[in-house]
């Protein structure tokens, strides 16, 4: 068992969908730390998918209150 497996177990037990470094990056479970970037800055996060474009999504520390406009804004600011 490696650190990614342990993190995934912890996320599962807390009902989280992945990790985020707010304003920098986010990754869903199953694709954790794609660039070997797991650090102390990573926070447990929830995945929010755009209602009209399911391929557009973000990770956030907020469980609720994220709108399609928030998803679009976040994507446009980082990409």
Tell me the pLDDT tens digit for each residue of 31-79.
998 888 899 999 999 999 999 999 999 999 999 999 999 999 998 887 6
With contact defined as beta carbons under 8 Å apart, do 61 and 44 qualify? yes
- Closest by alpha carbon to 61, among 74, 48, 50? 48
Taking the model in full, what pTM does it have? 0.90
pLDDT at 20 over 70: yes
pLDDT score at 78 = 77
3-state helix, strand, coil in the chain (%, to 5): 30, 25, 45
Q: Could you give the CA distance from residue 28 to residue 46 in angstroms, rounded to a whole number?
A: 8
């Amino acid at each position: 068992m490696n650190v990614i497996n342990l993190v995934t177990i912890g996320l599962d037990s807390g009902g989280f969908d992945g990790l985020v470094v707010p304003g920098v990056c986010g990754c869903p479970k199953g694709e954790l730390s794609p660039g070997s970037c797991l650090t102390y800055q990573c926070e447990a996060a929830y995945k929010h998918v755009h209602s009209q474009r399911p391929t557009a999504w973000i990770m956030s520390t907020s469980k609720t209150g994220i709108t399609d406009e928030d998803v679009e804004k976040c994507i446009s600011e980082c990409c």
